Amino acid sequence: MEIFKATNVVKDYAGHRALDQVSLAVKEQSIFGLLGPNGAGKTTLIRIINKITAPDQGEIELFGRKLKASDIQHIGYLPEERGLYKKMKVGEQALYLAQLKGLSRHDALKGLRYWFEKFEIQPWWNKKVEELSKGMQQKIQFVITVVHKPKLLIFDEPFSGFDPINANLLKNEILNLKEQGATIIFSTHNMASVEEVCDHIALINQSKKILDGQIDAIKEQYKQDIYEVETSAAHDVTAEFSRNGFQLIDYQLKGQTQRVKFQLVEETPTNVLLQNLMAKMEIRSFREVIPSMNEVFIQVVEQANPKKQAHA
Amino acid sequence: MHKSFLILKREYLTRVRKKSFIILTLLVPFLFAGFTILPAWLAMQDDEEERTIGVYDATNQFGQRFENTEFTNFEAIPKAEFESIQQDIKSSKYYAVLYIPEDILNTNRARLLSDKQVTFDIKNMVGGKLENLVESDKKAVIIDQSGIPDLEEKLQAARTRIELETIKVDEKGGAVKSSTEIAMAVGYAAGFIIYMFVFIYGAMVMRGVMEEKTSRIVEVIISSVKPTQLMFGKIVGIGLVGLTQLVFWLVLIFLIVTGLQVFLAPDQAEFIQQSQSMMAANPQLQGAAQENAVLNIIDLVGNLNIPLILTSFLFYFLGGFLIYSSLMGAVGAAVDHEEEAQQLMLPVTIPLIFSIIILFPVVKNPEGALAFWASMVPFTSPVIMMVRVPYGVPLWELLLSMGILIASIYGTIWVAGKIYRTGILMYGKKVNFKEIVKWLFYHN
């Protein structure tokens, strides 16, 4: 079931169209990656979902009906640019922000206690925020984002500023939240983490959605008939790949093993290809090279912006 | 509404609990009392030390005629003793020695010798006594020469001093004793307090908004509440902080003044009695103060329309604060850095500063055209109308000014809200007025 749906959303700022006919659908209890180069319009879209700003055209639906003001208490948002009141004590501040999300004081205290214990950060309760390191502040911001048990969570670059251990802790918590029924929109430039956690992605470039789908399907879509073969043949096999519709991409010799990466010029069924190769050399391994999300991202964005250098 | 209240509560409590706020709120009334009342009280204290002053009179005309006062005795001393004492006043019994030279009638000069600095009061007292003695001797000679025996009384009778009483006649023809000085003092003080609070607390709103913007907490908050709720809570919360401080100051100053009065009451009664007996003894002073000055002031303050003044004060205090703090909040939202804020603050505060500049002309002529227009324009009326109210302002003028202010508050908050909503999420862009005007037409 789709928990969130945007249909033909348009948002204009003076002389600049931030979103142009963007449509998305996010399935319940999934992690949706919202990708795109800087300035593509991701933050604008996220702000529209949070009701911080309103679209000029188009429809936003949450839980199968039109998004309304009171929905923001079912949304948890961790912005990319995030901060806290520096002079305020951690506990007091967390309580305040949780209450702003609509929790009663009692529920807020209960929820915060649970998370502070889970992260083992109870000793910070009475410290001022300015006494904490940046990573510690990020943890508190994460707690504040999830304490009201939102059904829809939006994380914008959640791992920035975390060391690998804490980033891992956070990733597991995000996966846990999904297990418990939350739906997550995840915006990041870190493609490795996208591949790890996302089920589905959409890529926004220059205000338009240019790519949308299941991660595996997208990778499948962007594979370029590239294969990698390892052989223990005694002779140099490169000659075999320099003709007959092959294009040699990479060649490595390691001891007795030759590793060859090549692209097919003409489409050939994999099994036929393998049979051809088996006739010519001893195969140690054979695999089709599937592009990483990072490669897909660069390829798609560079295709869309042929002149400008894309910032991945 | 509930969320606005949460915001208001935080804005209020975090500021009221600050040490600097508590110290300032408690200290200022004491400083005020210290700087105004204490010196007056200390000046009233009698010097109660017993002193003896030796008088060596080379003319032999005045030496015996010095009258002792309550704590000071005069003793005439012969030349020989004076010469010996002169060497060593310290070991003598005299606090000081007055030397009246032979030619005093021509030179008007005498000397008061002491081993230490003679106190101001003693110097005045001794000088005054000698002056009176010399003057009366000179007068006696003139009266003798003129041949008019009651010349002194006649001159005395010609002395004139006029006491001008100001009476305000109201529409019903009733006369109310008024005091221009009191109305001026009350108006000036009220106008100045409004100016000060609007400035200080308006800037506090601006800094509060900037803190939220630069610390980037604002994005978290406005995913929970509407920007207008945030702005509303902040302005009202900080306004209440200002009101709290003002109320504390007024109550504390009142308590301190009353406390000091009770504490000083016996002395004061004595002082009044003393001054009255002094006047009786000295007919020259009688015209100057027929009534007790303190009672007179209380009487005149009582004649001011205090409920009207208090209501208008509260109204213009809040009105001025709302109109300026919403604009300053918008400035805080529009900028990234303190320096940019200073630049944009200037045009916002110019009308406020202007109202302080024209404060004095308005106090001098509260019915003039400048006073009238400045008390209608909503950006100057909080200060200027408040200056005029104690003098008595026609009701229609007061209501018109209040109406314009209320309408302008709505308009200003609308404009400020637009700027605020756009500016608060805009980073890394140097804004100018053209840019800000564009924001007014954004559809958020």
Q: What is the pLDDT of residues A150-199, one digit of tens each?
A: 999 999 988 887 888 888 888 899 999 999 989 999 998 888 888 888 88
Identify each DSSP E strand in chain A by its residue range. 2-13, 16-27, 31-35, 57-62, 65-66, 75-78, 152-156, 183-187, 200-205, 208-214, 226-231, 246-254, 257-264, 283-288
Q: What are phi and psi of B249, to 5 degrees?
A: -60, -50
> Are B215 and A83 a contacting pair at CB < 8 A?
yes
Residue B19 tokens read as: 């040490």
Interface A-B, measured as beta-carbon pairs within 8 A, has a size of 68
DSSP class of residue B442?
A: -
Sequence letter at residue A16: H
Token pair, residue B174, equals 């009733």
The neighbouring-strand residues paired with B61 are none
B363 close to B387: Cβ distance less than 8 angstroms: yes
Q: Who's near A197: CB < 8 A, 6+ residues apart?
A: A31, A33, A171, A174, A175, A186
A148, closest residue in chain B (CA to CA) = B224
Q: What is the DSSP letter of A59?
A: E
Q: B17-45, pLDDT tens digit by residue?
A: 999 999 999 998 888 877 777 776 776 66
Q: Which of A54, A79, A99 sits opposite B220 (nearest CB)?
A: A79
Most confident region among B68-72, B317-321, B427-431 by mean pLDDT: B317-321
pLDDT at A277: 79
Put simply, the answer to whether A101 touches B220 (Cβ < 8 Å) is no
What single letter denotes the amino acid at residue A78?
A: L
Token pair recorded at residue B77: 């001393």
Per DSSP, A89 falls in state B
Mutant choice from B16, B210, B220, B420 vs A, greatest count of A C-beta within 10 A: B220
Q: What single letter denotes the amino acid at residue A271?
A: N
- Written as tens digits, the pLDDT of chain A (312 aa) is 788 888 888 888 767 888 888 889 888 899 999 988 888 888 889 888 888 888 888 888 888 888 888 888 889 999 888 889 988 999 999 999 999 988 999 999 999 999 999 888 889 899 999 898 888 888 899 999 999 999 999 999 888 878 888 888 888 999 999 999 899 999 988 888 888 888 898 888 888 888 888 888 888 888 888 888 888 877 777 777 766 677 778 888 888 888 888 887 777 777 777 787 787 788 888 888 888 888 888 888 888 877 655 444
Please check whether residue B364 touches A, CB under 8 A: no
Interface-testing mutation among B223, B232, B421, B444, with chain A (most A C-beta atoms within 10 A): B223
Calpha distance A224→A267 (Å, rounded):
10
Instruction: Look up residue B86 and give its amino acid.
Output: Q
Contact between B312 and B397 under an 8 Å Cβ cutoff? The reply is no
Continuous H helices in B17-78: 19-44
Contact B224 A101 (CB under 8 A): yes
Mean pLDDT of all residues in B170-185: 69
Convert B198-215 to b/e letters by CB count within 10 Å (16 or more is b): bbebbbbbbbbbbbbbbb
Q: Do A83 and B217 touch (CB under 8 A)?
A: yes
Nearest-Cα distance to chain B for A193, in Å, is 24
Q: Mutation test of the interface with chain A: which of B1, B9, B17, B219, choosing the one with the most A Cβ atoms within 10 A?
A: B219
Bridge partner list, A186: A33, A155
Q: What is the pLDDT of residue A17?
A: 84
Residues of B in contact with A54 (CB under 8 A): 443-444
Q: Would the CB atoms of A96 and B10 count as touching at under 8 Å?
A: yes
The CA–CA distances, whole Å, from B369 to A270, B356, B372, B395, B400 equal 95, 17, 5, 17, 16
* pLDDT tens digits along B265-310: 555 555 555 555 555 555 444 444 444 555 566 666 666 778 888 8
Question: What is the torsion angle, in degrees rounded to the nearest 10, for the CA atoms of residue A35, residue A40, residue A46 and residue A48?
Answer: -150
